[in-house]
Copies of this chain bind each other. A is one copy, B any other.
Amino acid sequence: MVQPSTMEADVVVVGAGLSGMTAARKLLGAGLVPLVLEADERVGGRILTQEVMPGVPVELGAQWIGDTHERMFRLAAELGVETYPQYDQGETSYELVDSGVLRENEFHSRFESELQELALVLKRLDVLAADVPVEAPWTAPRALEWDAFTAGAWYDAQGLSPVARNLLEICTVGILAVPTAEVSFLHLLFTIKTCGVTSELFAESEGGAQTTRFIGGTSEIPNRLAALIADHIVLDMPVQLIEHTADSVTVHCRGGVIARGRRAIVAISPTLAGRIMYDPPLPGIRDQLTQRLPNGSAMKAFFVYDEPFWRKDGFNGQLISDIGPARMSNDTCLPGDDHGVILLFLEGDQARTCGRLPESERREALTAELVRHYGGRAAKPEFYVDGEWSERQWTRGCYNANHGPHVWTTYGPALTTPIGVIHWASTDTATYWSAYMEGAVDAGERAAAAVIAELS
């Protein structure tokens, strides 16, 4: 990594997440010199693998890619990171609307008509989402209408049974990490459109967003990427101020370090980008946008057992529950390791309420939930770890920036439009799989391409 004394570059990139490092690498490839300033002591941003015992890395952050994540498959291949498929043999366990705990087959036969309702609603969403231009959602023919109410209000108006409505809430919150009552319906449609269709977004199996994992952990991706551009990354360098002219930026970091360049790419979430001081100050529309894009509330909790005992009982390790505290789970065992690892998701309200309990209380409540689904063996993990992203100073919430009502239609153009020599990246600004790693790469490449075009 470079020393602070050499802080001159063509392009100063703020943030060594996947988006910023992708941008930096592309700039390098075009013969431009990038300098990536990272506030944290590590690269990777919302990707964070933690080895909790030898050979057992767990993903506190981004974990999966899906079949249509072509940029990520390409990147992994280039970096020599191998992939493996998500385990999905066996049944999901359900616990919904006072039905008690039910195995998937039982659940499906008991709630056949409710699941048909759900399928119809998802089809309806696909039809509506098809009309949202991902580059400019505010230009959709019905944008003003759709941006005036919430996804939750639209769901409520579909006349659904409690089972269908709750399933819809659970799978949507599983993506957006805020209650649907906080999400603009236009933003839900935008999210669906950037991912293709609902079956890709929500499905856990073929075609979905969560089919594939990385050998060694997701952090292999940012770590190897960082190794390729190590001379151009400085860690522990929080940016406080960006001075900009018609052809230059001067970036001031905590501690007085200064970096100079011809362009800047700010590759952090919009709410964090809004915390940087800009001189001259940015236009009101950009500033008020960043006030209106709060990061979601997400937390992951991992239980590590001596073996994946649920598999023997015919379970795939996935649970879906409206009792909780976790609404969903996954089998996240590792290839070549005998441990059983189960991941519980706390998102939206659950992250907020359960995330603020003492760890022991949270662990106890989650253990009880696992025991309901998988029996007494679930009560005896070898290891437990969890992580809530709003506590992390340089992230402050996951998975991404939420758009409430009116944000897209009144502030939308300010999300990606460069301001003078300052460009914007991060997955929150992507038009393909926004909020995913794929979107981070998409956004980083887009910002880099724009800068390259300007400087060549």
Contacts and interface: CB of A to CB of B under 8 A. Distances in A.
Most buried by B among A356, A388, A405: A405
A44 interface: no
Given A284-B391, A295-B291, A390-B287, A406 B240 contact: no
Nearest to A299: B284
Given A291-B294, A292-B294, A182 B404 contact: yes
Interface string A122-152: 0000000000000000000000000011100
A291 B240 contact: no
B148 A181 contact: yes
B277 A288 contact: no
Contacts of A271: 291
Most buried by B among A238, A293, A396: A396
B275 A355 contact: no
Interface in A254-285: 254, 256, 271, 274-275, 277, 281, 283-285
Nearest to A240: B240
A179 B147 CA distance: 12
A20 interface: no
A393 interface: yes
Interface in A381-416: 388-391, 393, 396-397, 404-406, 410-411
Interface in A307-363: 349, 352-353, 355-356
Given A277-B240, A291-B396, A397-B291, A356 B285 contact: yes
A365 interface: no
Given A274-B275, A397-B291, A284 B179 contact: no
Contacts of A297: 288
A450 interface: no
Report, as a range, how many residues of chain A touch the other chain.
Answer: 35 or more
A362 to B, nearest CB: 14
Contacts of A352: 285, 288, 410-411
A79 interface: no
Nearest to A356: B285
Nearest to A297: B288
Given A181-B406, A240-B240, A292-B294, A396 B256 contact: no
Most buried by B among A277, A291, A349: A291
A455 interface: no
Given A285-B390, A405-B181, A277 B291 contact: no
Contact of A254 (B277, B295, B390, B404): B277
9 contacts: A150-B405, A238-B277, A240-B240, A275-B277, A284-B397, A288-B396, A288-B397, A292-B294, A349-B410
Nearest 7 pairs of A and B residues by beta carbon: A284-B390, A291-B294, A281-B393, A275-B275, A284-B391, A292-B294, A288-B390
Given A181-B405, A291-B396, 15 more contacts: A148-B181, A179-B406, A274-B275, A275-B275, A284-B389, A284-B396, A285-B356, A287-B396, A288-B294, A288-B295, A288-B390, A288-B397, A291-B294, A292-B294, A349-B410
